[in-house]
Structure 1
Amino acid sequence: MALWWACRVLESTLIVPRRLGRALQSQGLRGTTYRFPFGDLKELARLAMAARAKPMPPLARHHAARESPLLQRKISVTWLGPTPRVIVNDPKLVREIMANKFGHFQKRKHTGIVRRLSNGLVNHEGEKWAAHRKIINPAFHLEKLKKMFPAFAACSNELITRWVGYVESDGAKEIDVWPEFQNLTGDVISRTAFGSSFGEGRRIFEIQCEQVQNLVKLMNSLYLPGFRFLPTQLNRRIKANARELQALLRGIVSKRERAMKEGRANNDDLLGLMMESNIAETKQAGNSKPIMTMDDIIGELKLFYFAGMDTTAVLLTWTMVLLSVHPEWQHRAREEVQSVLGDNQPDLDGIQQLKIVSTRSPACALLCSHDFSRKWKSDTVVSVLVWSLQVTMILYEVLRLYPPVVQLDRQTYKEVELGGVTYPPGVLLSLPIVFIHHDKDVWGEDADEFRPERFKDGISRASKDSPAFFPFGWGPRICVGQSFALVEAKMALSSILQHFSFGLSQSYTHAPFPVSTLQPEHGAHIMLKKL
């Protein structure tokens, strides 16, 4: 066994990397040379540490280099340990890779910790991915999301009530909005996924947050075959967390199964909708066993918590920061929200009273101009899920400047030709979303500036190379929960704009840094003033 393990390590860390490196260099791809056994991991850690040691001023434009310091270098190939990573900056090639028309690419192969964190739709391939996507999709349709409005509204109202309590004593208060928004989105995902309050789901939230930190530690270290089975302190903690999380979620799913069998389940939440869809698809396929097993459902629930909470929290945080720096856009957004909602809270009743927008209006054209907006379209109207043109443009511009996920990865599993280069199996293709979103050749000389009006004619016309906007991915694997995230963000932002004006605190330190998502390393300290 020891000899077998040694041969595996030697092959994966020396023989295969050198073969792949020669294949890429022979085609003119320039980059670093593989250094046994860590590749560029040490250099990446050094650059990241140097970038983090220099906080940026709030108005800094060139923040992308701080988030991915190695990707800013004008090179094609770097090494993540023994794996060659080719950086793909061309938006056309990025779209081709993510479209994956001929099935040449797959998601990056992850270690066990990634699967423990979110072993759901995002990690599946082939038939299993297609089956799960078909089952999960109905839970995020427009009509289903409408049923979740009361949960969105209740969580937003609790946030506003808490903030009003903060500022009532002296009329203004400094608040770190980053943990506030984490609690908000954790509350939303708990209620919409399980029908429970955030208090009941808090332990799930805490475990997932800790597992994310553990994931970052492992991804920044050299992966060796069998390493996860060694009884290190980190591995023991990861396994203990995984067992506890599995038990918590298994209890929730089992309780719902019993309620469904007894006919007393309210299945308006994501868990219920997914389980109902699973039953329907299983019957339609004529299977005796469910398509999604208990473990499959638990994996998707982990993903709901991880993706559904983090993405919207960082979107709202950077929106507050940018609207603090650009008060003119804060004013414009507030005016539009007040003109649509007045003093009404954006709850379900308020939404039903809002003016309906024609499908021929500019707002509809904006929201229906991209693949991930097609589901909002109806024959006669687009309801105020569209909300307002100003708020939508602002959120899109925030997603452009501060995409929650700064890069996406795809891996070749067979030989494939792309952009005149033939890639052998085992090459990691890195799609640096944050750099494409800041590319002046694509977005113009003002690419680093906050200009929401660039989206006034829709996403497809916002960039020179149409389109080059990938905050939720692209193609068949585009994020299934993107509409959920945008509706949640619009509800929360509209409530905040109705009740508060805000600006940056003097204690704010601008330090965007990617953990699982692009997070404010030192928090986001905002001065709130009640209107």
Structure 2
Amino acid sequence: MEANPVLMAKITVSVAIGGFIVLLMQLYNLLVLKPKLLRAKLQRQGIRGPSPSFFFGNIPEMKRIQLQVHATPKTTATKEYDHPDAIAHDWPSTIFPHLEQWRNEYGPIFLYSSGNIQLLCITDPEMVKEISLCTSLSLGKPSYLSKDRGPLLGQGILSSDGSIWAHQRKIIAPELYIDKVKGMVNLMVDSTTSMLRSWESRIENEGGIADIKINEDLRSLSADIISRACFGSNYSQGEEIFLKLNTLQGIMSKGHVGVPGFRFLPSKNNRAMWKLEEEINSMILKVVKQRTEASYEKDLLQMVLEGAKSYNDYYGPSTDSSRDKFIVDNCKNIYFAGHETTAITATWSLMLLAAHPEWQARARAEVLEICGDSPPDANMLRNMKTLTMVIQETLRLYPPAAFVIRAALEDITFKDIMISKGMNIQIPVPILQQQCDLWGPDAHKFNPERFARGIVRACKTPQAYMPFGIGPRVCAGQHFAMTELKVILTLILSKFCFSLSPGYQHSPAFRLVIVPEHGVTLRVRTA
């Protein structure tokens, strides 16, 4: 029997219309209904926040508040920072003015949205304490990290969840335990000494004193250290990977996450990100191929490669491409987290020591007393109390990561507030770490002495100090980072005296991490 073409056309049109209606319903649920229900459940418990607009959430209001702050006239002329208080450290109100404004308006716990991403922002110390002590698997990382930040993080240890994250942590964390890190001190000393030779040469060539833009040198140094310690290579071999990761980081920091579908649009920034992601992935796989064709000592890269072999046990049936993605994503996470954050903290530490010559002198005296003319070893580093206090205070004032982010993977309760599955929790680290009611009236000032009796006694709620994150997801490389920072600062203090260049402009900026927007230039001379 021959089909009726008119009937078939009607059926086709009906199916198309039906499919379109189903798609609209799904979009309505995703973009309107689900976010509204998540907010409503918290609003019924007294949690408030600014009203979001459709599609963009509170992004337009965030931009408006930021523009108002940046429109305020600022002194841009260069100045001599001859007094420690000349530098203002209360920068969070300038970089994140919307959070400060909403916190003042709605209280220490409030709601807002970045596009379609619903955020419960928490600056209440007691609730932060409960979250930091939570070990439940109901609390994980938001899915948008592996999507909107996918080109940089993928599904590596910084953004994954559940059994995937547990597998990655099992591979990576043991290679960065303190006993392993102790064996890397000589390598760190060698890399740093090489950089300092170039400084000595510059100082000699420039008549005994030189202006050195330290952030660039420290980024290269940190990249060299992480390359040699974890990948069995040096910075020159991975230089292009680091440069491209840095460029990718800069591009990604320019936009707001959460706008539905935006990451799929072929905009100029997205095209640049896709190109960089492809190039970085290809270069990492080239490094991996060289590794598999040669014999190396067991290091972190080797452990990642071996972890990929057991991929099926944690991820299900796999292909070569999925195993390659596992390797690439974790290498990118290690490259990014292992060099960028440490380099920035070393930069801020030296800036603060340059601005506070009395602390520079105290730290140098300690270094010379403990090390003498010898390069530092693990035991010497452990005894450096003043230097540790300086680093801890630097991490308080200038934490590399601006936020601790979690997602409720199931309904979960903190401080009698029930947070529904799907809600994202945001803890703004610099705001907690500069609260006067926690740290005292000098919370915005550089005072390493507050850590003289350790972190536990530095403030009223020790869990409010979180430069390495909180809970089970605390940074696996914190021992590596602290050791590297001590080595770098010890060697610089033992060889040089330094002050801020007259042209220094203090301008912290958010580039996924907190960086000095104009860099840091020190005036350096031999000690």
Task: Provide TM-score, normalisation by structure 1.
Answer: 0.85
8 Å Cα contact 2:55/2:260 also seen in 1: no
Change (3 A) 1:505 1:422: same
Cα separation, 2, equivalents of 1:43 and 1:426: 23
The alpha carbon displacement at 1:327 in A equals 0.7
Partners of 2:135 and 2:472 within 8 A in 1: no
Cα distance, 1:37 vs. partner?
Answer: 2.3
CA distance in 2, matches of 1:278, 1:322: 42
The question of 1:18 aligning with 2:36 is answered yes
SS of 1:324's partner is helix
What is the CA RMSD across the aligned residues, in angstroms? 2.7
Determine the C-alpha separation between the residues in 2 that align with 1:38 and 1:334: 51
Q: Deviations over 1:505-524 (max 9, x none)?
A: 11111111111211001111
The CA distance in 2 between the partners of 1:420 and 1:25, in whole Å, is 14
- Give the aligned residue type for 2:266: P
3-state secondary structure, aligned to 2:65: helix
User: 1:363 matched to which residue of 2?
Assistant: none
| 293-302 or 468-477, which deviates more | 293-302
2:525 matches 1:529: yes
SS of structure 2 residue aligned to 1:189:
helix
Asked whether the 8 Å contact 1:41–1:221 carries over to 2, the reply is no
Letter in 2 for 1:309: H
**Which residue of the partner structure matches residue 345 of structure 2?**
315
Residue 465 of structure 1 is matched in structure 2 by 461
Are positions 1:116 and 2:112 aligned together? no
The residue that corresponds to 1:410 in the other structure is 406
Given the alignment of the two structures, is residue 252 of structure 1 paired with residue 287 of structure 2, yes or no?
yes
Q: Tell me if the contact between 1:159 and 1:184 (Cα under 8 Å) persists in the aligned partners.
A: yes
In the TM superposition, structure 1's runs of 4+ consecutive aligned residues that sit over 6 Å from their partners are: 281-285, 287-292
Per the alignment, residue 343 of structure 1 pairs with 373
CA distance 1:129–1:283, shift in 2 (3 Å): closer
Change in 2 beyond 3 A, CA 1:343/1:525: same
1:324 and 2:322 matched = no
Of 162, 167, 174, the match for 2:198? 162
Please list, as runs of the form range in 1=range in 2, the aligned pairs for 1:161-180 lying within 5 A after superposition: 161-168=197-204, 169-180=206-217
Q: 1:469 to 1:221 in 2, by over 3 A?
A: closer
Q: How many residues align?
A: 488
What is the 5 A alignment of 1:331-370? 331-346=361-376, 351=377
Residue 330 of structure 1 and its aligned partner are, at CA, apart by: 0.3
1:212 pairs with 2:242: no
3-state DSSP of counterpart to 2:382:
coil
Per the alignment, residue 142 of structure 1 pairs with 178
Match of 1:239 among 250, 270, 274: 274
Deviation at 1:301, TM superposition (A): 0.9
Mark the runs of 5 or more structure 1 residues left unpaired by the alignment: 353-382
- Paired letter, 2:95: E
Percent of aligned pairs with the same residue? 31
What secondary structure, in the 3-state scheme, does the structure 2 residue paired with 1:472 have?
A: coil
Superposed displacement of residue 459, structure 1: 1.1
The secondary structure found in structure 1 opposite 2:293 is: helix
Residue in structure 2 matched with residue 388 of structure 1 by the alignment? 384
Partner residue, 1:62: 90
Q: Deviations over 1:240-299 (max 9, x none)?
A: 22222111111211222232xxxx3223x42134446777x89999x9999993432221
Cα shift readout 1:467-508 (whole Å, capped 9, x = no counterpart): 421000111110001111111111110111011111111111
Contact 2:171-2:303 within 8 A present in 1 as well: no
Is 2:149 the counterpart of 1:131?
no
Larger Rg: 2
CA contact (8 A) 1:88 1:94 kept: yes
State the partner residue of 2:226.
Answer: 189
Distance 2:114 2:121 in 1: 12
Equivalent residue for 1:104? 138
The amino acid that maps onto 2:345 is: L
**Aligned pairs for 1:402-481 within 5 A:** 402-481=398-477
CA contact (8 A) 1:18 1:34 kept: no
Q: CA deviation at 1:114?
A: 1.6
**Contact persistence 2:116–2:260 (CA under 8 A):** no
- Once residues 65 and 507 of structure 2 are traced to their aligned partners in structure 1, the CA distance between those partners, rounded to angstroms, is 15
Instruction: Tell me, in whole angstroms, the C-alpha distance in 2 between the residues paired with 1:212 and 1:69.
Output: 22
Which amino acid is the alignment partner of residue 27 of structure 1?
A: Q
Unaligned runs of 5+ in 2: 1-18, 77-84
162-171 or 110-119, which deviates more: 110-119
Match of 1:527, SS state, is strand
Alignment of 1:247-286 (within 5 A): 247-259=282-294, 264-267=295-298, 269-275=299-305
| Whole-angstrom distance in 2 between the partners of 1:406 and 1:399 | 11
Distance 1:430 1:270 in 2: 31
Query: Whole-Å Cα distance in 2 between the matches of residues 308 and 48 of structure 1?
Result: 31
The answer as to whether partners of 2:57 and 2:114 remain within 8 angstroms in 1 is yes
| Structure 1 residues 125 and 37, CA gap change in structure 2 (3 angstroms) | same
The superposition leaves residues 381-428 of structure 1 with CA deviations (integer Å, 9 ceiling, x where unpaired) of: xx3342400000110011111111121111223322222222222222
Alpha-carbon distance change, 272 to 394 in structure 1, aligned in 2, over 3 angstroms: same
CA 1:3 to 1:234, structure 2 compared with 1: closer, same or farther past 3 Å? farther
Instruction: For residue 456 of structure 2, give the secondary structure of its aligned residue in structure 1.
Output: coil
Find the aligned partners of 1:204 and 1:484 in 2 and give their Cα distance: 21
Aligned CA distance change for structure 1 residues 528 and 97 (closer, same or farther; 3 Å): same
Pair 1:233–1:277, CA change in 2 (3 A)? closer
Shift of 1:4: 5.6
